[in-house]
Amino acid sequence: MGIIVQKFGGTSVGSVERIRNTVNRIIEEKNKGNKVVVVVSAMGKTTDQLVSLADELSSYPAKREMDMLLSTGEQVTISLVAMALIDKGYEAVSYTGWQAGIVTEAVHTNARILDIHPEKIRSHLDKGQIVIVAGFQGVTEDGEITTLGRGGSDTTAVALAAALHADRCSIFTDVTGVFTSDPRYIPNARQLQAISYDEMLELANLGAGVLHARAVEFAKNYAVPLEVCSSLERVAGTMIEEEAAVEKNLIVRGVAFEDAITRVTIFGLENGFHNLSTIFTTLAEHHIDVDIIIQNQTADGRTYLSFSIKNQDLKETVDLLETNKTSLGIDHFETETGLAKVSIIGSGMVSNPGVAAKMFQVLAENGVAIKMISTSEIKVSTVVDDKEMIRAAQSLHHAFELDAAEQKI
């Protein structure tokens, strides 16, 4: 008998009928003789609806109160799933994140898990009960309710799997697995049988919405066997593991893209490390994620600095830079919105030179102007105009021979 953690997203529990389908999947795993922990998201578009309510009442909703509001969505789902299981004759108990022992840092709306105390969950599993846990949420050491950010239920599931030393964590979603790109926009994207933790982490960080990046990070750090599969179709999913066999010797395994990117350019900085570290420390203290960074020196010995952020952080970033303009040594700064990030990912890139050159050539041939570039051993990212995002992604997907003979969705 092993411990299996299953996670079901909002689509999988979006209606009474889909909750019944989810419950059947849970029962199947339980009937195999396993101890089962289930993590669920809020139903369907519940979180979006709650955010809309808050926006109607406040132009800048307090983050603490947003956590109080958004954490209610999962609480509805856990109770309904537990009720449905009990109705079918299975012992089940539902827990909110804080009841389940999930302790987070004291950061509202985007907290990180610090620790998990799984004793209560273990006691129920030992009694043969199915435990249903609300994803996306936790509690600080001071008792404040927090949420983990968009997609945080994935992180809840993998973190629980790590704490419980689970045999497997299955992420059930509305797609059949991990694809070479988003099949909604890239018609010939195909499903991968397996992908490495590192490749999946890059895909998640670069805009692939199938898995939350922190969840992959947890899985890698604690060697959690992770599976992405469909909650609606009975087909094989994608395994995420330490070393995945390279299918057909493909150097590039996926193309990711993400819109709503802003470029911030700061002018007039004095040369030296102090100003740079102060700027990025200030942004980090306010939990603003900075991605691509470019620094250049001018002939007069000054420095200008460009970096990319998500549009959702633009207002706070501008306010911070404006407020601290003098102390940060900033002459002036500019912002450019309407941008997107398009990336190629693949562990085979490490030993194959010329991949970046081919990417830039393909984009040039398709008339896509590159505004920023970032590279690592297994990825190359470019910032382009958001109107060119899909065309750029489709061109790269085809050029690196990722197209499927038949669409598999």
169 shares its domain with 271: no
Q: Is residue 278 part of a domain?
A: yes
Three-state SS string over 329-370 comes to: CCCEEEEEEEEEEEEEECHHHHHCCCHHHHHHHHHHHCCCCC
pLDDT at 406: 36
Q: Looking at residues 71-95, what average pLDDT do you find? A: 98
DSSP string, 222-252: TT--EEEEESSS-S--EEEESS---GGG-S-
Q: Is residue 279 part of a domain?
A: yes
Phi, psi of 75 (to 5 degrees): -65, -35
Extract the tokens encoding 104: 């987070």
Q: What is the mean pLDDT of the chain?
A: 92
Q: Looking at residues 291-303, what average pLDDT do you find? A: 80
Q: Pick from 174, 200, 221: which residue ends a domain?
A: 174
Find the CATH number of the domain harbouring 358.
3.30.2130.10
21 shares its domain with 115: yes
Q: Pick from 174, 206, 221: which residue ends a domain?
A: 174
DSSP string, 300-314: TSEEEEEEEEEGGGH
Q: Is residue 318 part of a domain?
A: yes
pLDDT at 327: 86
Band (269; pLDDT cuts 50, 70, 90): confident
Structural domains of the chain, count: 2
Phi, psi of 107 (to 5 degrees): -130, 120
Find the CATH number of the domain harbouring 82.
3.40.1160.10
User: 61-70, pLDDT tens digit by residue?
Assistant: 999 999 999 9
Q: Is residue 409 part of a domain?
A: no
Which of left, alpha, beta for 125 (phi over 0: left; psi -120 to 50: alpha)?
Answer: alpha
- 395 residue type, one letter: S
pLDDT at 405: 45
Point out which residues pair with 375 in neighbouring strands.
Answer: 380
Name which residue leads in pLDDT, 98 or 251. Answer: 98
Q: Is residue 72 part of a domain?
A: yes
Band (49; pLDDT cuts 50, 70, 90): very high
Domain around 272: 255-399
165 shares its domain with 266: no
User: 96-126, pLDDT tens digit by residue?
Assistant: 999 999 999 999 999 999 999 999 999 999 9
Strands (E), 45-183: 92-95, 102-104, 113-116, 130-134, 137-139, 145-147, 168-173
Q: Pick from 128, 155, 174: which residue ends a domain?
A: 174
Q: pTM here?
A: 0.83
**Spatial separation of the C-alpha atoms in residues 182 and 389, rounded to whole Å:** 12
